[in-house]
Amino acid sequence: MKLVEYSVKDRIGFITLNRPDKRNALSLELVEELNATFVLAEKDDNVKVIVLRANGEAFCAGADLRYLQKLQDFSREENQEDSRNLKELFYKIYMLSKVVIAQVQGHALAGGCGLATVCDFVYAAPEAKFGYTEVKIGFIPAIVMIFLIRKIGEQKAKHLLLSGELVGGESAIEFGLVNKIVQSEKLAEAVVDFANKLITNNSGQSMSLTKKMIGEVQSMKLEDALEYTAEMNAEARTSDDCKKGIRAFLNKEDLKW
């Protein structure tokens, strides 16, 4: 059985965690398969938007604890290499040229919460809980904190990272972890509906460039960021998508991307 399933329908690429017996816990093999599958989906010309979802009751329970136990016998260099695999996965999703929507039907904990955090949008069921529980087992939320602070700010991130508290429902929205709460039986439909709106109404090139800039400008000095965005602005004006969009607007034509 593959740990990650991949399918495409109506320009939506579905990447599905398939380790339900282990609550989709992150093992070396699962992380490697996810990395490879996101590369595949990014290159797939039939895919415009990606949905990350999971089989079973949990979205992702974080790191596989038995695997973490084995890592205690690894050398420092071996542990660094293993950590880099997870870092590469999170960075890949965060900077991917295509929009990624997390469909969270169950708990997303620790690294699993990080997996949802690096996605561009998060739709969740009311019963789904989110939390960074590493401090409760003497571990640290190292890699995930970089993306969490960017997403929700330092104060809220500190609360989640230092308390290990689980949040769900409206609280998850207030923290900035979730975009929308949808009843379980309607969750998949709501995600597909939203993906279809992005596919039909928005330029894929524009979404890609906008996502890229959001990821890059935050680490730049103000003047450097302004110069970079001015260059990107100029580049976008001459793109085929921009020409097509402006022409359709001026001619009052319906435009479907």
| pLDDT tens, position by position, 211-244 | 999 999 999 999 999 999 999 999 899 898 998 8
Segments making up each domain of the chain, as ranges: 4-199, 203-250
Q: What angle do CA 4, 81, 77 make, to 5 degrees?
A: 155
Q: What order do you get walking across the sheet with 167-168 strand by strand?
A: 108-109, 129-131, 167-168
Q: From the CB of residue 252, how many other CB atoms can be counted at a distance below 10 Å? A: 6
pLDDT of res. 65? 72
Q: What is the DSSP letter of 134?
A: G
**Pairing between strand 99-104 and 108-109?**
unpaired
CA 155 – CA 149 distance, rounded (Å):
8
Cβ(51)–Cβ(15) under 8 Å? Answer: yes
pLDDT of residue 81: 75
Tell the residue number behind the tokens 């090139």, with chain if given.
205
Q: What mean pLDDT is predicted for residues 57-86?
A: 79
Q: In this predicted structure, what is the pLDDT of residue 71?
A: 66
Q: Helix, strand or coil for residue 175?
A: helix
- Give the pLDDT confidence of 164-187 residue by residue, as tens digits: 999 999 999 999 999 999 999 999
* Per-residue model confidence (pLDDT) at position 1: 57
Cα dihedral sign, 144-11-216-84: positive
Tokens of 7: 């399918």
In angstroms, the CA 20 to CA 27 distance is 13
In this predicted model, which residue has the larger pLDDT, 196 or 64?
196
Say which residue the tokens 């542990």 belong to: 79
Comparing 83-92, 124-133, 146-155, the range with the smallest average pLDDT is: 83-92
Estimate to the nearest angstrom the gap between the alpha carbon of 171 and the chain centroid: 19
What six digits make up the tokens of 242? Answer: 């921009």
Catalytic residue set: 134
What percent of the chain has pLDDT above 90?
Answer: 80
pLDDT in tens, 110-148: 999 999 999 999 999 999 999 999 999 888 999 999 999
Among residues 144, 55, 168, which one has the least CA distance to residue 103? 55
| Helix segments in 96-203, DSSP class H | 111-117, 142-152, 154-163, 169-175, 184-201
pTM: 0.94
**Tokens 């071996």 identify what position?**
78
Class assignment of domain 4-199?
alpha beta
